[in-house]
Amino acid sequence: MDSKGDILFKSKTDSLKNGIVFLLLGIAMIVGSNFIYTPIVLIIFGLISILIGLYILIFKRADNVIIYENAISLKNNQIIDKDSIKSISYKKVKPKGSLPSYYAVLLLNNDSEQLINIAFNSMINKDFEKIIKSYLD
């Protein structure tokens, strides 16, 4: 850890907890619907809650990116040293009817690219944006 330096940024991994909470809430609603007179409303809310929980668990998983002073650690235990990064570019993604988001793309010395799968714009992940833009300075 000392060779990497201090941690500058660590991605949040709360999506797993949120997904499990929604799943448990949905299951509790469906089980609890057996004890009330009109269970259909509680069953519908329980199914909606379960679907939200599955969506969060499957599609909204965090990438577990840790940015150190001298290296970047990605989810798949891939460590990229700061010296092996040639430059950082940004991939723009414009969702329909919303602010455009950007993803950082690391251009490495061996001419390969590595995408950091954390979106940022003027509304979300402002601390990540500051750190990634000043990383090679």
Does the pLDDT of residue 16 top 90, yes or no?
A: no
Task: Output the DSSP codes for 58-126.
Answer: HH------EEESSEEE-TTS-EEEGGGEEEEEEEEE--TTS--EEEEEEEETTS-EEEEEEEE-SSS-H
Does the pLDDT of residue 1 top 60, yes or no?
A: no
3-state secondary structure (DSSP) of residue 56: helix
Does the pLDDT of residue 13 top 90, yes or no?
A: no
- pTM for the structure as a whole: 0.62
Q: Would strands 79-81 and 71-73 be described as parallel, antiparallel, or unpaired?
A: antiparallel
H or E element: which one contains 7?
strand 7-10
* Residue 125 in tokens: 């992940």
Overall residue count recorded for the chain in this entry: 137
pLDDT tens-place string over residues 17-40: 788 889 999 999 999 988 888 789
pLDDT tens-place string over residues 34-47: 888 878 988 999 99
